[in-house]
Amino acid sequence: MDVPLRTSARSPTIGLLVGLIVTLVAVVADGWYITRQMEGLRALQTDLADRNRKDSLQLLRIQNDLNTVALAMRDMIDSTEYPLTAWTAQCDRVRLDLADALNREAAVAVARRTPEQRQYLATSVTQFWDAVDRMFAVAREGDEGEARLQIRLSLQARQAALSTTVARLLVENNESEEQTARLMQGIYTQVQRQAYLFVGATLVAILLTSAYVIRSNRRLFRDMGALSERRHELARKLIETREATLREISRELHDELGQTLTAMGLMLGRAGKHAPEGSPLRAQLREVSEIAQATLDSVRGLSQTLHPSILEDAGLDDTVDWYVPNAERQLGVSISYVRSGPTGPLDSAVAVHVYRVLQEALHNIAKHSGAAEAWVHLRSSHGMLELDVEDHGCGLGGATERRGLGIVTMCERAELVGGTIAFLEPQGGGTLVRLQVPKPG
């Protein structure tokens, strides 16, 4: 039976690397984008929100100073008990605080203001204090009526205009804060949407890579399964070919060479009868006849070893009974053999495989274990034929992992008959080869 083997011309490695690179690029790009956006939000919050808050605080400070000046001017107009120059110190303190507030406000003012807008407030304050200085100069000259008139007509109007300007700037700051909050909310929404898109793209890349891995693995396992089937088929054919070859050699040895040696022995026997009694020729012919008989016995033994015809004629039980004593003599190992229950009728192919496993196991004991004794147990029960071959030698070590040819052949034979084989370590050390074969129902 020919099992088609599909081979893949393309290795999945390139596709997996591409998928991995795409996934890593997506993750890095996602992290880079989110980091940039968060930095932008942080900069926006620092440059706009914090500056607006600080600017509003300074504007409130300026407004408070202007209100203080307004109260002082009202007192100067209403009170006639004190000269106007008495308020000079208070105005100076307010002037210093207002100058400091203006400098701080200019440092934190929002970038959206034009240079003209920034200059307008400073110029207006400078003009206001110039007018205050002129008013105090008039008062020091003794014309307090004129000084109060300047307060009522000029200074109060200038102070009201400055307060209106500061109030307008506060309103602009509030509007700017609201606009900044809306802008930040929009950026947050955009970042969130982009993050979802990047995560989705990353998941798609991972899913595609996973699907490619699954597809490649399925193809790989399918090819491995087909290759395993072909290997089993090849092993079966090799074992069948080997058995057929051994059977043919055994038959040739038994029929051709055996018959030739038998005829040679008969001819030597007849020739010996014609030789004189007690002559050297008769003794030599008898010696040659004995050599021919010994050679015939060796050929027959070799023929049975290669392919025991007794296996087909008498069955597995009698074959093992015949083989174990012969193996003892040939291998130089003391073998204890126990049989539990008759094996019953077995297919000749199954019987051959069980017999070959026994042969290989005993040969391995003689060649590799260093043990002088071995135990063979053949039992049949519950629809299962079980063969145990045990020794207390040095054991397999890593032989089952190295998979020598003999062990591989035993495993293949077990699979061919639908059975199992195990290489165990008995309690006393060494190796226990256990073959289990289902019996026909």
In a domain, 283, yes or no: no
What separation in angstroms does the CA of 154 have from each of 105, 331, 403?
Answer: 26, 135, 113
Which of 144, 179, 213 is the C-terminal boundary of a domain?
213
Q: Are residues 197 and 338 in the same domain?
A: no
Q: Are residues 166 and 37 in the same domain?
A: yes
Which of 170, 193, 213 is the C-terminal boundary of a domain?
213
**β 384-391/420-424 pair status:** unpaired
What pLDDT is stored for residue 143 in this prediction? 87
Q: Are residues 185 and 78 in the same domain?
A: yes
Q: Are residues 205 and 312 in the same domain?
A: no
What pLDDT is stored for residue 145 in this prediction? 86
Q: Are residues 330 and 195 in the same domain?
A: no
CB 293 within 8 A of CB 304: no
Residue 409 belongs to domain with CATH number = 3.30.565.10
In a domain, 1, yes or no: no
**β 334-340/431-438 pair status:** unpaired
What's at 315, amino acid-wise? Answer: G
Q: Are residues 28 and 175 in the same domain?
A: yes
pLDDT at 136 over 60: yes
Residue 312 or residue 413, greater confidence? 413
pLDDT at 398 over 60: no
What pLDDT is stored for residue 6 in this prediction? 44
What pLDDT is stored for residue 113 in this prediction? 66
* Average confidence (pLDDT) over 192-199: 78
Q: What single-letter DSSP state applies at residue 420?
A: E
Q: Are residues 207 and 329 in the same domain?
A: no
In a domain, 242, yes or no: no
Residue 108 belongs to domain with CATH number = 1.20.1420
315: helix, coil or strand? coil
What pLDDT is stored for residue 78 in this prediction? 83
In a domain, 41, yes or no: yes
Task: Determine the length of the chain.
Answer: 441
In a domain, 277, yes or no: no
Note down the domain range covering 424: 308-438
**Among the listed ranges 113-117, 181-185, 320-324, which one has the minimum average pLDDT value?**
113-117
Torsion of CA 424, 426, 429, 433, to 10 degrees: -40
What pLDDT is stored for residue 403 in this prediction? 52
Q: Percent of the chain, pLDDT > 70?
A: 87
* Average confidence (pLDDT) over 367-395: 86
| List of residues 6+ apart from 36 with CB closer than 8 A | none
Q: Are residues 206 and 312 in the same domain?
A: no
What pTM was estimated for this model as a whole?
A: 0.49
Q: Are residues 27 and 157 in the same domain?
A: yes
pLDDT at 116 over 50: yes
Closest CA to 337 of 263, 399, 387, 398: 387
Q: Are residues 206 and 314 in the same domain?
A: no
**pLDDT tier at 64, thresholds 50, 70, 90:** very high
pLDDT at 17 over 80: no
| List of residues 6+ apart from 59 with CB closer than 8 A | 105, 166, 169, 170, 173
Q: What single-letter DSSP state applies at residue 87?
A: G
pLDDT at 399 over 70: no
In a domain, 338, yes or no: yes
* Average confidence (pLDDT) over 268-288: 75
* Average confidence (pLDDT) over 152-173: 87
**Quick one: 244 exposed, middle or buried, by C-beta within 10 A (0-12, 13-18, 19+)?**
exposed
* Average confidence (pLDDT) over 45-70: 82
Q: Are residues 47 and 191 in the same domain?
A: yes
Which of 213, 237, 258 is the C-terminal boundary of a domain?
213
| List of residues 6+ apart from 318 with CB closer than 8 A | 310
In a domain, 290, yes or no: no
What's at 46, amino acid-wise? Answer: T
| List of residues 6+ apart from 438 with CB closer than 8 A | 383, 384, 385, 418, 419
CB 375 within 8 A of CB 339: no
Q: How many domains does the chain have?
A: 2
b (16+ CB within 10 A) / e for 99-128: eebbebbeeebbeebeeeeeeebeeebeeb
What pLDDT is stored for residue 79 in this prediction? 78
* Average confidence (pLDDT) over 380-384: 80
What pLDDT is stored for residue 427 in this prediction? 82
Arithmetic mean of pLDDT over the chain: 79
What pLDDT is stored for residue 111 in this prediction? 56
* Average confidence (pLDDT) over 102-107: 83
CA angle (401 as vertex; 397, 402 as ends), nearest 5 = 90
What pLDDT is stored for residue 389 in this prediction? 92
What pLDDT is stored for residue 300 in this prediction? 67
pLDDT at 321 over 50: yes
Residue with tokens 């129902």: 441
Q: Are residues 180 and 68 in the same domain?
A: yes
What DSSP line would sit under 225-238, residue for residue?
A: HHHHHHHHHHHHHH
In a domain, 282, yes or no: no
Cα–Cα dist 376/371, whole Å: 14
What are the respective helix, strand and coil percentages of the chain, to the nearest 5?
75, 10, 15
What pLDDT is stored for residue 97 in this prediction? 92
Cα–Cα dist 382/385, whole Å: 8
